[in-house]
């Protein structure tokens, strides 16, 4: 049942304004998102003017506001997507924007239900030609996981841009307005097509497969350790893509029925590691286990024995790494062929988990088939 979608290994490569300022008028396209489909050229609306961008808001610090009880404290997800977009001067010159609120949560609470709602809404908007591009406003903590999930399930080549901020909207030097402006620049540009889901923050455009959060508090936090950004964007110079669209192969998976992905646990490896976390994962019904291994996806002898036993029971075991960059390679210090393990290649544990969930949901049970999907990019 894997990959039954139309996306035939389709390709991807994949200012500061306080919210207290009066809301600028949002340029909503006529009839809003529910209106009849437009027969529009890519990057243009039916009248041949500005591109139509659907903004799906989920919460996060970008929609956060100061908590008056403590200096530096704030609450995520306090401002709606519509208010957010209206607070950034000049967006109405770039695109016709229509904002919808999908959730109002910090992304530490991101979950399958919101993921499925996002995926379905985006696909519907593209299938009905209601939008030329989509922007998702999101917390930064799990932004990379949402980006990667959507990259694997949304079909078509219209741009999907995910954006967040490290500082709340009420901060002295909030980074949200600039990031939002740049996200609209990217989503509205026809050159952004065919690049999969992109994260746009702090002047960088990064691919969903490689982007990861690298710093707990700095605004310069998102990086792509293995391959660098796919481009740069700034409000003055516009967009500079460094790669061709369609540089990476990717599969698209169909969303399973319902609103839940199969249970896959991440087990973090460390010195003095025993088998308890692996046994726990198995006893809680994990269908897959991703090892955040040391080095090249390694772990202790007792953990390895427990993983081997798990694989024998039909639990899919994927070796990833807690190291920030590099690839996990088959059969180096671990006999993956003998143990029936899979390696995650360049995918970090949190993204390896998402891909494993999608593959299990697609009916994959054989490690060799899982491995093929992890390696399919190269």
Residues between 166 and 225 that touch ligand ASP (CB under 6 A): 166
Q: What single-letter DSSP state applies at residue 28? A: P
User: Among this protein's residues, is 137 annotated catalytic?
Assistant: no
Q: Nearest distance from residue 65's CB to ligand ASP, in Å?
A: 12
Between residues 61 and 212, which has the closer beta carbon with respect to ligand ASP? 61
Binding of residue 107 to ligand ASP (CB under 6 A)? yes
CB-based closest residue to ligand ASP: 139
140 classed as catalytic? yes
Q: Where are the beta strands (DSSP E) in the chain?
A: 11-12, 52-59, 65-66, 74-75, 96-105, 133-137, 160-163, 197-201, 204-207, 212-213, 222-223, 231-234, 238-241, 248-249, 264-268, 288-293, 316-321, 342-343
CA dist., res. 256 & res. 267, Å (int): 25
Nearer to ligand ASP, 7 or 139 (CB): 139
For the window 43-82, what string marks contact with ligand ASP as x by the rule CB under 6 A? -----------------xx--------------x------
In the complex, minimum distance from the CB of residue 174 to ligand ASP, in angstroms, rounded to a whole number: 12
Q: CB 84 → ligand ASP: shortest distance, Å?
A: 13
Query: Would you list the DSSP string of 123-134?
Result: HHHHHTT--SEE
Does residue 107 have a known ligand-binding role?
yes
- Out of 137, 140, 146, 299, the active site residue is 140
Q: Which is nearer to ligand ASP, 114 or 343 (CB)?
A: 114
How many residues bind to ligand ASP according to rule CB under 6 A? 11
- Please list the residues that pair with 231 across neighbouring strands: 205, 241
> What's the burial of 31, exposed, middle or buried (CB within 10 Å: 0-12/13-18/19+)?
exposed
Tokens of 238: 């516009």
Residue whose token pair is 């893509």:
241
Minimum gap (Å) between residue 62 Cβ and ligand ASP: 6
Q: Of 61, 142, 299, 321, which one is the catalytic site residue?
A: 61
Asked if residue 298 binds ligand ASP (CB under 6 A), the reply is: no
Binding segment toward ligand ASP, per CB under 6 A, in 11-19, 86-94, 138-146, 348-356 = 138-146
Query: 104: which residues sit within 8 A by CB, 6+ positions away?
Result: 57, 58, 59, 63, 77, 78, 80
**Residues taking part in catalysis:** 61, 140
What residues line the site for ligand ASP (CB under 6 A)? 60-61, 76, 106-108, 139-141, 164, 166
């Amino acid at each position: 049942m894997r990959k039954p979608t139309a996306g035939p290994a389709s390709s991807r490569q994949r200012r500061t304004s306080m919210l207290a300022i009066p809301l600028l008028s949002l340029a909503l396209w006529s009839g809003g998102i529910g209106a009849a489909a437009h027969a529009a050229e890519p990057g243009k609306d039916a009248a041949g003017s500005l591109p139509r961008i659907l903004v799906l808001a989920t919460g996060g610090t970008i929609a956060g506001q100061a908590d008056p009880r403590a200096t530096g404290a704030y609450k995520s997800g306090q401002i709606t997507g519509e208010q957010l977009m209206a607070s950034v001067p000049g967006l109405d010159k770039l695109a016709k924007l229509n904002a919808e609120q999908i959730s109002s949560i910090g992304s530490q609470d991101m979950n399958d239900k919101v993921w499925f709602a996002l995926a379905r809404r985006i696909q519907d908007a593209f299938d009905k030609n209601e939008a030329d591009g989509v922007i998702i406003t999101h917390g930064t903590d799990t932004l990379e996981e949402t980006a990667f999930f959507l990259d694997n399930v949304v079909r078509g080549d219209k741009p999907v841009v995910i954006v967040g901020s490290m500082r709340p909207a009420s901060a002295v030097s909030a980074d949200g307005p600039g990031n939002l402006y740049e996200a609209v620049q990217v989503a509205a540009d026809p050159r952004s097509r065919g690049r999969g889901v992109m994260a746009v923050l702090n002047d960088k455009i990064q691919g969903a497969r490689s982007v990861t959060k690298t710093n707990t508090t700095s605004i310069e936090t998102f990086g792509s350790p293995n391959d660098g950004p796919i481009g740069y964007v700034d409000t003055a110079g516009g967009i500079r893509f460094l790669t061709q669209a369609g540089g990476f192969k990717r599969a698209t998976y169909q969303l399973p029925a319902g609103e839940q992905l199969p249970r896959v646990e991440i087990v973090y490896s460390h010195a003095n590691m025993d088998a308890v976390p692996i046994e726990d994962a198995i006893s809680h019904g994990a269908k897959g286990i991703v090892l955040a291994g040391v080095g090249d996806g390694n772990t202790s002898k007792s953990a390895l024995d427990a993983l081997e036993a798990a694989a024998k029971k039909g639990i899919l075991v994927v070796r990833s790494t807690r190291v920030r960059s590099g690839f996990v390679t088959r059969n180096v210090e671990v006999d993956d062929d003998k143990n029936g393990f899979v390696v995650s290649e360049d995918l970090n544990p949190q993204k390896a988990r998402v891909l494993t969930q999608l593959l299990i949901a697609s009916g994959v049970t054989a490690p060799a088939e899982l491995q093929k999907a992890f390696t399919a990019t190269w």
